[in-house]
């Protein structure tokens, strides 16, 4: 039976640690499928739609380029790796989109950094990792 891991990647050092943990786990259990996703949020309602779409497209391409580089780092002869850029609802915490992806794709484990690239540092967990821990329907591994 294939084990399915989901890694939430935002470009931060701690999300990079999450990718490394997924690589480690995949190397230890050959029948592992890894999904690495980035969540981008479209800009708020005050932004012109054309500008918002342009910004979203640019962010999506930049994120996809990073994910393609990560995919190359995995031993794809042993591990199936999928990458995806998900456009999240601007009103929702990105953790909700991550949990929805995990549920829709029957993930066995979500691996996430304890804090991402946000400007505000939380005392314990970042807002996204906290949202994932509170809302996930599968186990969550939070990396420091």
CA distances 55 to 40, 59, 61, 73, 135, Å, are: 10, 6, 10, 28, 29
- The range of the structural domain enclosing residue 75 comes to 3-143
CB 119 within 8 A of CB 71: no
The strand order across the sheet containing 32-41 reads 80-88, 32-41, 3-8, 109-113, 140-143
Contact 7, 111 (CB under 8 A): yes
Count of H helices and E strands in the chain?
A: 4, 5
pLDDT (tens place) for every residue of the chain, 144 residues total: 899 999 999 999 999 999 999 999 999 988 999 999 999 876 555 555 565 566 666 777 788 889 999 999 987 777 899 999 998 887 889 999 999 999 999 999 999 999 765 544 444 456 899 999 999 999 999 998
Residues whose CB is less than 8 angstroms from the CB of residue 102 and which lie 6 or more positions away in sequence, other chains included: 6, 110, 136, 137, 138
**What's the domain count of the chain?**
1
CATH number of the domain encompassing residue 31: 3.40.50.620
pTM of the model: 0.85
């Amino acid at each position: 039976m294939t084990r399915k891991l989901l890694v939430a990647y935002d470009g931060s050092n701690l999300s990079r640690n999450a990718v490394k943990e997924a690589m480690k786990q995949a190397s230890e259990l050959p029948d592992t499928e890894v999904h690495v996703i980035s969540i981008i949020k479209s800009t708020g309602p005050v932004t012109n739609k054309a500008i918002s779409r342009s910004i979203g497209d640019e962010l999506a391409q930049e994120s996809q380029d990073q994910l393609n580089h990560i995919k190359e780092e995995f031993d794809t002869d042993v591990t199936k790796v999928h990458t995806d850029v998900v456009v999240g609802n601007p009103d929702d915490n990105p953790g909700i989109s991550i949990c929805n992806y995990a549920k829709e794709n029957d993930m066995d484990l979500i691996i996430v950094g304890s804090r991402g690239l946000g400007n505000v540092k939380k005392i314990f967990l970042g807002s996204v990792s906290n949202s994932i821990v509170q809302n996930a329907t599968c186990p969550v591994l939070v990396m420091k």
